[in-house]
Amino acid sequence: MHLSFISIPAAGHVNPTLAVVAELVRRGHRVTYFTATTFAKRVERAGAEFRASGQDWFASLPIGGPALPDRRQLMLPMLKRVFQDIRADFPALVEHLREDPPDAVCFDAMTVSGSMAAEKIGVPAISLMPTYASNEHFSLRTLLPADPPPEMAEAWAAMRGSLAEFAAEQGVGVPRMFDGPPAPFNIVFIPREFQPMAETFDDRFRFVGPCVGGRDDAGWSHEGTNPLLFISLGTTPLNRRPDFFRTCLEAFGQGKWDVAMAIGEQTGPASLGTIPQNIRVQAFFPQLQVLQQADVFLTHAGMNSTMEALYFGVPLVAFPQQPEQEATARRIEELGLGRRLETADLTAASLLQTVSEVSGNAEIRKNVASMSGNVRSAGGAAAAANAIESHVQGLRERGS
């Protein structure tokens, strides 16, 4: 088969697909992958043929300088940038697909150009969902704030209107993001046990759990003798929080924990002051390698990071930075997999106490071990590849 993958240029959306790509290529299929050049090397290491599509969203946003603007103020310019990319790149995307037609388009569920392109060229569409699935009974919207700030409501309304207008221009349906299945067939990168209202999801959905691997994480070793705490707020510059990292240094610098703290590219280590000897600070760490050795993960609760921690059986302390992450942080608490931190209550003392309580809580560790079993038994990349093969073959046999 020839399969085309299409994804927005974000690690939390590209990374979950790479192990699937690698598995499909191992089975002899050909994969072409459309995303921004930022991810070209990762895509090629997974065995796909890279196709440049889209730009780095963060390049034009006002996120430089010592202070990060309020995230609500960034929503409108970011969504405008997203739509500008769709409008600018869509003709070339469609042309590439027509010149080298795939047997199916596998698109990230947030990548609305994927479903439109599949419909435009008349090939099957398969959505890849890195977070909660939506159907006729459940929507991610129900987990987000009921009364969003006016800036966010304005941004989403403008985006929906522009998208509907563009879809009409192209003669295709308006993509569904949160209000029902994005495609006739959907692969979800979480286990069914983590999905709210899981009993309402039928065979249009395959819950395969996280697809760990495929991105060639370098080796890493825990060098200390104390329990290891991994701290990361993810890869997006929008999560830059030097104040949080300084609080972590104060909380964990006494030597009771060995710490690996990823601060991202937007925060320089020198801005944090003196780094205690028991704390290793880098822009990024090879996350899969560190999680295999970690005792607790202090995380922004991005779904990719959450799933990878659960895969390796690591309890979570969630410090969410975005509305969707806040929803996952609440889900972590609901399922007894860790604790959620409130920004207003964050101090060095409360941070140390929360991490220590999660580490020593037998019930949390029992719940995490059980969920880890669910995550691993969901099937991962092999199950996703099986589902894609089966779906496409079934369509061929039915002549549709």
- Mean of pLDDT values over 72-83: 63
Query: d(Cα 116, Cα 153) in Å, to the nearest integer?
Result: 24
Same domain? For 162 and 259 the reply is no
Higher pLDDT, 318 or 8: 318
3-state SS assignment for residue 129: strand
Same domain? For 382 and 370 the reply is no
Q: What is the pLDDT of residues 246-269, one digit of tens each?
A: 999 999 998 899 999 999 887 888
- Mean of pLDDT values over 118-138: 95
Q: pLDDT value at position 12? A: 86
- What pairing do the DSSP bridges indicate for beta strands 279-282 and 296-299? unpaired
Percentage above 90 pLDDT, the chain:
69
> What tokens were used for 181?
């299945």
End-to-end, the C-alpha distance of the chain in Å comes to 16
In a domain, 223, yes or no: no
Q: pLDDT value at position 378? A: 97
Burial code of 250-264, b = ≥16 C-beta within 10 A, e = fewer? bbbbeeebbbbbbbb
Cβ neighbors of 36 (< 8 A, separation 6 or more) are: 9, 52, 53, 54, 55, 56
The pLDDT-based confidence of 146 (bands split at 50, 70, 90) is: low
CA 111 to chain centre: 13
DSSP 114-162: HHHHHHHHT--EEEEESS----SS--GGGGS-SS--HHHHHHHHHHHHH
CA 123 to chain centre: 26
Kindly report the pTM of this predicted structure.
0.90
CA angle 250, 253, 255 (to 5 degrees): 155
Total domain count for the chain? Answer: 2
Same domain? For 8 and 148 the reply is yes
Which residue, 320, 284, 288, is CA-closest to 303?
320
Main-chain phi, psi angles of 128, to 5 degrees:
-115, 115
In a domain, 216, yes or no: no
> What tokens were used for 176?
């569904």
Q: pLDDT value at position 268? A: 85
Q: What is the pLDDT of residues 281-309, one digit of tens each?
A: 999 999 999 999 999 999 999 999 999 99
Same domain? For 182 and 233 the reply is no
Q: What is the pLDDT of residues 174-222, one digit of tens each?
A: 888 777 899 999 999 999 999 999 999 999 999 999 998 766 667 889 9
Q: What are the residues facing 31 on neighbouring strands?
A: 3
Same domain? For 355 and 392 the reply is no
Please count the other Cβ atoms lying within 10 Å of the Cβ belonging to residue 373: 14
The one-letter code for the residue type at 113 is S
Query: d(Cα 345, Cα 326) in Å, to the nearest integer?
Result: 15
DSSP 298: E
Q: pLDDT value at position 193? A: 98
Q: What are the residues facing 3 on neighbouring strands?
A: 31, 104
Same domain? For 141 and 68 the reply is yes
Same domain? For 332 and 389 the reply is no
Same domain? For 183 and 326 the reply is no
- What pairing do the DSSP bridges indicate for beta strands 338-340 and 316-318? parallel
Burial code of 109-121, b = ≥16 C-beta within 10 A, e = fewer? bbbbbbbbbbbbb
Q: pLDDT value at position 112? A: 87
Q: What is the pLDDT of residues 4-36, one digit of tens each?
A: 999 988 888 999 999 999 999 999 999 999 999
In a domain, 37, yes or no: yes
Same domain? For 34 and 117 the reply is yes
In a domain, 170, yes or no: yes
In a domain, 19, yes or no: yes
Q: pLDDT value at position 237? A: 63
In a domain, 221, yes or no: no
> What tokens were used for 276?
């205690």
Q: What are the residues facing 187 on neighbouring strands?
A: 128, 206
Same domain? For 68 and 118 the reply is yes
Query: Does the structure show a pLDDT above 60 at 317?
Result: yes
Per the listing, tokens 């042309």 go with 95
The CATH number of whichever domain residue 164 belongs to comes to 3.40.50.2000
The pLDDT-based confidence of 57 (bands split at 50, 70, 90) is: low
Asked if residues 47 and 26 have their Cβ atoms less than 8 Å apart, the reply is yes
Q: pLDDT value at position 283? A: 92
> What tokens were used for 129?
């969902």
In a domain, 147, yes or no: yes
Query: Does the structure show a pLDDT above 90 at 159?
Result: no
Same domain? For 393 and 288 the reply is no
Query: Does the structure show a pLDDT above 60 at 62?
Result: no
Same domain? For 160 and 55 the reply is yes
Query: Does the structure show a pLDDT above 60 at 70?
Result: no
3-state SS assignment for residue 108: strand
Domain that includes residue 368, residue range: 228-376
In a domain, 51, yes or no: yes
Which residue, 225, 224, 223, 281, is CA-closest to 249?
281
